[in-house]
Structure 1
Amino acid sequence: MELCHQYGIPHSQFTAAGDGRWTALDRETALSYLAYTRTVRQGCGTRVPERDAQVGGDHFAYIP
């Protein structure tokens, strides 16, 4: 529903298949982008995983 709100489309259009509106790949891409944007910190625009050493990041990733 969040994506439908952001794109200004009805849920039925987003979930419709084979009618030339949103393909399965379109939906998957939009959902993936939503998941990505949820990892971006609002204040600084960085992503927590990029700084978290426990998941392969580096605490100093954004320090020049």
Structure 2
Amino acid sequence: MMHGQALIDRLGDRLAGLRGRLTPNAEMDKITWFRAGGLAEVLFQPADEEDLAVFLKAVPEEI
């Protein structure tokens, strides 16, 4: 299993066109309204639907 920044680094150029925010090792309890959750290896917050589509096409299925 790969973690946070290492995963982002591995994907490198595949993520170059993204406009949203990629956060390695994101603390989910800080962004959920009910303050639950642990660390997410990578959190992607897309700028819009098109940005999400680009992200989903760039990330390999095994991830």
TM interval, short-chain normalised? under 0.3
- Greater relative CO, 1 or 2 (CA 8 Å, sep 6+): 2
Structure number with higher strand proportion: 2
* TM-score computed with the length of structure 1 as normaliser: 0.22
TM-score normalised by length of structure 2: 0.23
Structure of larger gyration radius? 1
